[in-house]
Amino acid sequence: MRILVVGPTGRTGSHVIDALRGRDPDADIRGLCRYPQEPARAIETVPGNLDTGSAKARAIETVPGNLDTGTSRKRAIETVPGNLDTGSARARAIETVPGNLDTGSGKKKRAVELVVDPLEGSIAMSRAIETVPGNLDTGTRRAHSITCLTGDLENPADRARAVEGIDVVIHYAPAFHPREAAMGTGMIDAAVAAGVSRFIYVSALHAQVTSVPGHAAKLAVEAYLAESGLQWTVLRPQTYMQNIDVAAVLEAGALDLPFALTTRQGYLDMADLADVVAKVASEDGHALATYDLASDEALSTAEIAALVTTVSGRSVTAGELPVAQLVAGLEAAGPAFAYVADAVTRLNAWQARSGGRGNPGALRWLLGREPASFEDYVRRSLTE
């Protein structure tokens, strides 16, 4: 079975690939990085970060957008232009200097292994890359490589190249993208044309709440998928636990979220989502099904801060982040700022009203166990 994972180097994609490998270590996985290679999306460098002695001998080539955090790229990595030049163009391979992002713990916790597209005639590089904390947080080391293509989700030719020879497509859109719906329907068209046998779409819990722009876009993709003739499965996850970076919270000694301190929110472990994705990708019986994926736990900011304090033994305070401050930090979206700001504001308002909660029955049935608790997530984060 040949599987395409859209966005393989992000948090969701990394978890999904780990879950797929857990079921089948030899699974044939292709990744489609969702943005074209362009200088504007490259990473910012920190001079001396990869100084291995007298010279920076083997700095890394970058994945477009890998560390694009807006204006504050605080912990980026240093690059040497031409480092992996294979001729007329650098072939999107990645090579590393051991320990380049070792933070002193002796552990390199978050790595992903990639090989470049053999169709492009490039030499496969199998060294893993070390990442900025949280960027590729999968909870494990990745022991196997994937074929990784870099393409533009809005380019029909790139979409066609990505799905060629693929049996299963796993698609989820870039967060808060103004053309999210077009990207989704375009991938569906490509899958139909290529004769893909199964299409798994990661949507959002309660996508029918169309007052939230991201939900409205996902609902439109769901409707298009339902009329595509494909064997599809729609997964609707709630907000991820991983949106709260435990290491960052402990470093700051504070947890500030854009809700009242007592407002309870539902959270899903991204690892549970990944296990479900792997299940429906590899088993029969899930065609034409839509599953809500939600835990039965809802916690307030104050309760999460207290939980992290108890589990870690380090004091964490709870605070309310003003929505205006949250939106102001989105200016890095550039021309899309107005859309992103509106989408985030509306999503936050809906979550404040509803708590983003759902029924845990489908998730419990699909997992064959209880969903992970927030305490499980915190404890796992402390051991990574």
pLDDT value at residue 137 = 36
Higher confidence at residue 291 or residue 113?
A: 291
Q: Residue 360 above 60 pLDDT?
A: yes
Q: Residue 338 above 50 pLDDT?
A: yes
What would the mean pLDDT of 32-58 be, rounded to a whole number?
41
Lowest mean pLDDT among 45-49, 247-251, 327-331: 45-49
Confidence of residue 329 (pLDDT cuts 50, 70, 90): confident
Confidence of residue 65 (pLDDT cuts 50, 70, 90): very low
Q: Residue 177 above 90 pLDDT?
A: yes
DSSP 198: E
Lowest mean pLDDT among 45-59, 248-262, 327-341: 45-59
pLDDT value at residue 36 = 52
- For the chain, the maximum distance between any two Cα atoms, rounded to a whole number of angstroms, is 61
Lowest mean pLDDT among 173-182, 189-198, 217-226, 324-333: 324-333
Contacts of 208 (CB under 8 A, 6+ apart): 215, 219
What would the mean pLDDT of 301-306 be, rounded to a whole number?
98
Q: Which element (helix H / strand E) includes 237? A: strand 232-237
Q: Residue 178 above 90 pLDDT?
A: yes
Tokens of 27: 């699974």
What would the mean pLDDT of 165-191 be, rounded to a whole number?
96
Q: pLDDT, tens digit, for every residue of 90-148?
A: 333 333 333 333 334 444 333 333 444 433 333 232 223 333 333 333 344 444 578 89
What are the Cα distances from residue 174, in Å, to 154, 182, 340?
12, 12, 12
What would the mean pLDDT of 67-78 be, rounded to a whole number?
36
Across the chain, mean pLDDT equals 78
Residue pair 297/375 in contact (Cβ under 8 Å)? The answer is: no
> In sequence order, what are the beta bridge partners of 5?
31, 170
Tokens of 174: 């870039």
Question: Per CATH, is 2-243+268-296+357-372 categorized as 3.30.70.580?
Answer: no
Confidence of residue 35 (pLDDT cuts 50, 70, 90): low
DSSP one-letter string for 137-185 = --SS---S--EEEE--TT-HHHHHHHHTT-SEEEE-PPTT-TTHHHHHH
What would the mean pLDDT of 179-186 be, rounded to a whole number?
97
pLDDT value at residue 81 = 40
Residue pair 160/192 in contact (Cβ under 8 Å)? The answer is: no
What would the mean pLDDT of 38-49 be, rounded to a whole number?
32
